[in-house]
Structure 1
């Protein structure tokens, strides 16, 4: 089976399992070639619904988790989105298929950031990557309509929350030994609405000095 057929079958399975709610998420998952974002030695497993190692102690998230997080963030085409944890770039590419604006992504590992930039350039995705501390977000490009984290802090950093405009959403795995997927929504009065969407397992979020 070729990669295109394998990707189509994967998305069909995710739909059948109720893992995808939004048509925009479905279209993005059908469009992004996940096999281009994994090491060559792992490409035969690219369309299995599981995480895969990508080097530097990091992983590419399982497709169903990217779908769930995309649905929870629910970006509109005109939204400006912040990603914390570029990794191999797959999740950012999915987001870039949904929004028209540039996706801004922060990655702590320079080697991963450099490889992701090369992929975005080669595949034509409008994603800008900055090497830095994800706990700081990317304030120069704020405010954002939404943000998501692909690594797990003990709590969502205040600096990231502050960079999301009122009405915006943040989707993040939170916790160390036991992680939960959270969606935070900033209210116009400055408060935060918090929802829990089940247990998850992500690599810990870390600073450059960790």
Structure 2
């Protein structure tokens, strides 16, 4: 679990790339500057870990490119001690970014292989999520709702109603919506029944898996 000066230098370069692409939130950039992304990847990808690219992490899933992580996280407007629900733990990198920003993170992963791997990795890196759950992200986590924000890190064909219901008034839900190409969508809950919707450009994600059992 080595994190060397060369890795720190590469992270500084990555932060400059993200700033050039329009990421402004200092807390997001600082989290990305601190987190050793290479430790979330297969060691064969270590030399490429700080390129702004996605990489395979097993079980047909990917670690999102850093720009996508930063873009989604910036939309959440995370404040210290916010309760954040993450749908799709994946490698745990996004979880670590949220934790580094002071959020209390609850994260759900559908793939057992990734769930087991990430549950072991995060504590080794000092990342203490409030809860990592193996389960169906479409259902959210009603026992811990409402959440200050919810982030979905896989492409969904529609916005799941349970996630909307589990958002605080004033809360923010960031979700890529669509089949082949997804539109990054931000929902802000205004009242019990009203949501403000913003569509913020096209992205490509692996699909969000619904529990078929």
- CA-to-partner distance for each residue in 1:80-139, whole Å, 9 max, x for gaps? 0000000000011001111243x0000001110111111111011121210001101111
Alignment of 1:18-97 (within 5 A): 18=22, 20-97=23-100
SS of residue paired to 1:160: helix
Cα root mean square deviation, aligned:
1.3
Match of 2:14 among 7, 10, 13: 10
Paired residues of 1:166 and 1:190 also in contact (CA < 8 A): no
For normalisation by structure 1, the TM-score amounts to: 0.95
How far apart are the structure 2 equivalents of 1:151 and 1:87? 9
- State the aligned residue count: 208
SS of residue paired to 2:156: coil
Alpha-carbon distance, 1:178 to partner: 3.0
SS of residue paired to 1:181: strand
Match of 1:115 among 106, 114, 117: 117
Distance 1:208 1:189, change over 3 A: closer
Moved over 6 A (4+): none
How far apart are the structure 1 equivalents of 2:210 and 2:34? 32
Q: Which runs of 5+ in 2 are unaligned?
A: none
* More divergent stretch after superposition (168-177 vs 8-17): 8-17
Alpha-carbon distance, 1:42 to partner: 1.1
How far apart are the structure 2 equivalents of 1:100 and 1:107? 18
SS of residue paired to 1:25: helix
SS of residue paired to 1:193: strand
SS of residue paired to 1:206: coil
How far apart are the structure 2 equivalents of 1:195 and 1:56? 31
- CA-to-partner distance for each residue in 1:163-209, whole Å, 9 max, x for gaps? 11100000010010231000000012520100000000001111232
Q: Which runs of 5+ in 1 are unaligned?
A: none
SS of residue paired to 1:48: coil
